[in-house]
Each structure stands twice: as C-alpha cells, then as structure tokens.
C-alpha cells in the first residue's frame, strides 16, 4: 500500500513545473504576463483548496477520492493540451482558468486519498510518513522532466499531455491497493516488523539515492548534449530506482509472515485468578445496570427521530472541539483556532515561494538564459523541494520523540529562519558629510574653487586617506583648485610674518 502511495504522489506534483510550459501557453494563445499570472493564480488556488476532497474522503473510501482525482486531472490538462496544440478553438481566458483549476485540484485529491490513508494506517509514525510522501511530491517535477524528454523529446506541449495521462493512469492502476487497514498497536519494548520504522528508513535511503541520481543527471545533461537514446537510457534507470521500494515491501511482508508463524508456534500462557465474593457481587450489579441502560438505549433508538436531529447534532458537535490529542472532524477543523493559525502560516510560508516558482521561466527568459538552463534550474528546485520536505518530516518526528518538541514549534522555527535576512550597509552618497576637514586651509583671499561634491581642500585632503575605489573630483575642479592653492601660496609668501601681539590675540 505504501509503495502505491509513493508512486501516486511521485506523479502528483505537476503544479511545480508550470514554469516549463508557461512559455508555450504565452506564445500559443497570445497571452501577456498579466494573463499568465491570472492562470498561475487559479492553478495555485486549485492545488491548495483541499476541503472538497477532505469532505468526500470523510464519507467515501479512498478509491473514490483517487478515481475522482484521476478524472479531474485528465479532463483539466487534456483540455489545456488541446487548446495550446490548436486542436480546438482558442478558449477564453475564464475557461482556461477553469481548466487549470480543475487539473491542479486533482493534486489535492491524490494527496487526500494517498497521504491521509497512510497517516491513518501508521499513526505512530505520522511525521516520518508525511515527510517521506511529501518528499516524493517534491521530486515529481524532476521526474516529469526526465520522462517527457525520453518519451516526447524537447517539446513543452507534449509535457502537458504527459501531465494529463500519466498521473491518471497511475491512480487508476493502484486505486484498489490504497485502503484503510486494521491498526496493530505496538507493545512497549517489543520490536515488530509490522509496527517498526525500518521499512520507512529504507524508503528514505532509496529516495535519497533517487534525488542524487536526478541531481547528477540534471547537471550532466546541462553540460553535454544528450541524444534521444541517452535520454531513454537515463529514464529507464530512473524507473528502476522508482520501483526499488517494491523489494522493500516484499521483504517486509515476509518478515511479518515469519513473525506471525513464530508467535503461533509458542503456546499462549493464560493466567486465571479466582474472583472474590465482593468482586462477584460487583460484577452482578454492573450486569444489571448495563442491561437496564441497554434497554433504554434500544427504546430510544426505536423511537422515530425528527429529520433535523442529524443536522442539529453535526452543528452542535461542530463548535465543541475534542480533547487535546484527539482527531478533529472536518467540520470541527474548519472552525478551530488551530486551523486558522495553520492557514495563516501556510499563506506566509508558501505563498511567496509558489509565486517565485511559477515565474522562474519568465525570470530566466528575461535574464537571457537559454531554454535548457531554465529547465535545469526548475528541475533543481524540485530537488531542493524534496530535501526540505524530507528533512522537516523526519526532523520533527525525531524532536518529538527525543525532546518532546511539538511539530508546530519546528514549523515556526523554520519560518523564522527563512524570514531572517541581513542587508549590507548602503554606501555613503556624499563625501562632504564624512570627509574630515584639512588642518591647513587656504587663505580667505583665495577664490573658492568649484568641485563636484566636495570643496577643493577636502578633495586634496581625502585623496591620501580614501582608497583608490572612491570617485575623484571632476577635472575642471581639480585644475581650478590647484590654481587657487598656487595663488594662495604666493600671496602667503609675500606677506610679512604676523606680529607677536597679533599672534597672542
């Protein structure tokens, strides 16, 4: 089940490579930058609004959510591909916004169907599961880039087609594998293959190897010219690494079966204690009370309820949050203070990053980078995205178990570190405010020489004190300053020395 979720989420990050095919959208449909930003906004809106998929997941099994997400992904991105390829009439902007919003919203359905199911199946390792699965979402951008270069070549229109059919095909293929399984609580001091984290750490090592391989291939492909056959070979090796977790799953199943067989070979030990007389009386009294309560409950259930009782019960429990540590329902989470805090933190921490990632293609194009370098940079963003997601998931779980640090504290510290920035001190604009005055000044009879930003004496005195990188005064001011200093020196040499009285005064 975890292997199926890894594959589903590794193909559900198409929103992070919008910058690759945004240039094709702009050129094929004649959009300007403002229209492209509008499309990007609706893409992010669809990708981050997961309330609808959460409500559906509350009342349906996971396969329904995954099937709906596959249909939405195929519909949205296929219509975008037909529009940019010229197979349909040019749609209006509002219709393209609906298409890309529907296609991007399929990502929330895949996250809900796969990610939430894994967290429910492994509640004792939820931090590790979240970090690992979201890390594969971060790698999906680089995976898509390698696959479309191997299948279609360097054609951004075909990338949209790949985004349309590949995630839908993977979700439909593994739709019945993802399900809620019975939870096996772990006993203290007893290590078990079913409840341990060994398999998740194996998945982590495989994902690190996958990220290193992608990083290496991205750098090598940017430095050399790859043929289509070379891209095919690199994509084949990528698929082999992607399917390595299947071996871990098979080994884990054999370990669980072996542990089950070993537990059946050992005869169970049962200890029976003879109850005392007082305990027997207490048990009989509890039996009478239980039967009375059961009879009253059955009578109340048999009586017809008003049709609005269910709605009133939902609204009544909606504003009564559960005790700390218990799970919220979807309605309780919508009106809770915790959800409001998470919503604001997500806006502050993710909004600016999404805006930058969406416009990386336009930024690279404005700086004059070739298309190959822009693809390389966007693929590298996927690698750093993976590194941040995996590190945050595993680090928060380690801090929670070792130091009892809650995950919100780790998120707050990460946001604080990302927000700190040091700006260099601005250079001084005028030298007249900082240049020290010369100890010897020209006589009052000497005419004042015009300079660019300082007086002649200041320019003369600062020449020996300031480094060579400082701006020199203008040539006209220098010539006039030298002339005035020469005339001043001649007039001072022709004067008689001052009298003693004048000196003392």
pLDDT of residue 93: 93
pLDDT of residue 423: 42
Residue 272 confidence (pLDDT) above 70: no
| Averaged pLDDT for residues 191-214 | 80
Q: How much is the CA Rg of the chain, to the nearest whole Å?
A: 36
* Nearest Cα to Cα of residue 431 among 397, 456, 412, 449: 456
- Helical ranges in 174-197 per DSSP H: none
pLDDT band at 74 (very low <50, low <70, confident <90, very high): very high
pLDDT (tens digit per residue) in 407-416? 667 667 766 7
Structure tokens at 393: 């998931």
- Residue 51: CB atoms within 10 Å: 12
Q: Which positions ≥6 away from 284 have C-beta within 8 Å? A: none
What span, in angstroms and rounded, lies between the C-alpha atoms of 356 and 19? Answer: 10
pLDDT (tens digit per residue) in 295-354? 444 544 444 444 445 556 666 677 777 777 677 777 777 788 878 887 887 777 777 777
| Length reported for the chain | 505
Least confident interval from 5-14, 221-230, 478-487: 478-487
The residue among 197 and 57 whose pLDDT is bigger is: 57
Residue 496 confidence (pLDDT) above 60: no
- Distances, alpha carbon 130 to alpha carbons 189, 393, 407, 439, in Å: 25, 6, 12, 71
Q: Which positions ≥6 away from 364 have C-beta within 8 Å? A: 373, 374, 377
pLDDT band at 270 (very low <50, low <70, confident <90, very high): low
pLDDT of residue 457: 39
pLDDT (tens digit per residue) in 99-141? 999 999 999 999 899 988 988 888 877 778 888 888 888 888 8
Residue 37 confidence (pLDDT) above 80: yes
What span, in angstroms and rounded, lies between the C-alpha atoms of 320 and 326? Answer: 12
pLDDT band at 285 (very low <50, low <70, confident <90, very high): low
pLDDT of residue 77: 94
Least confident interval from 121-135, 254-268, 456-470: 456-470
pLDDT of residue 414: 67
pLDDT of residue 183: 66
Are the C-beta atoms of 40 and 359 separated by less than 8 Å?
yes
Provide the CA 62 distance to its chain's centre, in angstroms. 24
| Averaged pLDDT for residues 423-435 | 40
Residue 437 confidence (pLDDT) above 60: no
Q: Which positions ≥6 away from 256 have C-beta within 8 Å? A: 193, 194
Return the exposure string of 428-453: e unless at least 16 CB atoms fall within 10 Å of the residue's CB, then b. eeebeeebeeeeeebeeebeebebeb
pLDDT of residue 76: 94
* Nearest Cα to Cα of residue 396 among 204, 138, 130: 130
Percent of the chain past pLDDT 70, that is, above it, reads 67
CATH of 2-182+197-265+329-416, one of 3.30.1460, 1.25.40, 3.40.190, 1.20.1250: 1.20.1250
Domain ranges across the chain:
2-182+197-265+329-416
Q: Which positions ≥6 away from 109 have C-beta within 8 Å? A: 53, 65, 66, 68, 69, 72
Least confident interval from 130-134, 211-215, 467-471, 479-483: 467-471
The residue among 84 and 497 whose pLDDT is bigger is: 84
| Averaged pLDDT for residues 186-213 | 74
Provide the CA 373 distance to its chain's centre, in angstroms. 22
Least confident interval from 4-13, 80-89, 240-249, 420-429: 420-429
Phi-psi region of 363 (alpha: psi -120 to 50; beta: other; left: phi over 0): alpha
* Nearest Cα to Cα of residue 7 among 173, 216, 122: 173
Is residue 230 exposed (0-12), middle (13-18) or buried (19+ Cβ within 10 Å)? middle
Q: Which positions ≥6 away from 277 have C-beta within 8 Å? A: none
pLDDT band at 185 (very low <50, low <70, confident <90, very high): low
């Amino acid at each position: 089940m975890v292997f199926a979720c890894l594959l589903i989420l590794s193909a559900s990050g198409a929103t992070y490579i919008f910058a690759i095919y945004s240039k094709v959208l702009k050129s094929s449909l004649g959009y300007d930058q403002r229209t492209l930003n509008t499309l990007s906004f609706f893409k992010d809106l669809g990708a981050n609004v997961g309330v609808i998929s959460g409500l559906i997941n509350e009342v349906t099994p996971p396969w329904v959510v995954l099937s709906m997400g596959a249909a939405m992904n195929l519909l949205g991105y296929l219509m975008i591909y037909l529009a940019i390829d010229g197979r349909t009439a040019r749609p209006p902007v509002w219709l393209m916004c609906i298409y890309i919003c529907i296609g991007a919203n399929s990502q929330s359905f895949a996250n809900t169907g796969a990610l939430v199911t894994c967290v429910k199946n492994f509640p004792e390792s939820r931090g590790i599961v979240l970090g690992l699965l979201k890390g594969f979402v971060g790698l999906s951008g680089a995976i898509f880039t390698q696959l479309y270069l191997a299948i279609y070549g360097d054609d951004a229109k075909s990338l949209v087609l790949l985004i349309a059919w590949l995630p839908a095909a993977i979700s439909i293929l593994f739709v019945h594998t993802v399900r809620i399984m019975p939870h096996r609580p772990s006993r203290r001091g007893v290590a078990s293959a079913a409840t341990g984290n060994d398999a998740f750490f194996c998945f982590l090592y495989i994902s690190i190897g996958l990220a290193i391989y992608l990083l290496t291939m991205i750098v090598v492909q940017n430095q050399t010219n790859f043929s289509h056959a070379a891209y095919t070979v690199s994509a084949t090796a990528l698929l082999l690494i992607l399917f390595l977790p299947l071996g871990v799953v098979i080994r884990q199943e054999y370990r669980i079966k072996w542990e089950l067989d070993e537990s059946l070979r050992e005869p169970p030990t049962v200890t029976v204690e003879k109850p005392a007389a007082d305990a027997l009386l207490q048990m009989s009294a509890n039996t009478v009370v239980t039967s009375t309560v059961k009879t009253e409950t059955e009578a109340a259930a048999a009586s017809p309820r008003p049709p609005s009782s269910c709605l009133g019960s939902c609204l009544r429990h909606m504003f009564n949050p559960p005790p700390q540590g218990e799970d919220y329902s979807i309605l309780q989470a919508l009106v809770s203070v915790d959800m409001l805090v998470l919503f604001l933190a997500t806006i502050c921490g993710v909004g600016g990053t999404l805006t930058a990632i969406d416009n990386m293609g336009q930024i690279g194009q404005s700086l004059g980078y070739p298309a190959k370098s822009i693809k390389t940079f966007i693929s590298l963003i996927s690698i750093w995205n993976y590194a941040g997601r995996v590190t945050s998931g595993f680090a928060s779980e380690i801090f929670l178990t070792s130091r009892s640090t809650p995950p919100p504290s780790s998120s707050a510290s990460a946001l604080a570190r990302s927000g700190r920035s040091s700006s260099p001190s601005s250079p001084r604009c005028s030298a007249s405010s900082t240049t020290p005055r010369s100890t010897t000044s020209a006589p009052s009879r000497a005419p004042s020489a015009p300079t660019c930003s300082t007086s002649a004496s200041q320019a003369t005195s600062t020449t020996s004190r300031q480094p060579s990188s400082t701006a020199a005064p203008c040539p006209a001011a220098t010539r006039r300053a030298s002339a005035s200093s020469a005339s001043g020196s001649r007039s001072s040499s022709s004067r008689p020395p001052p009298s003693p009285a004048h000196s003392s005064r």
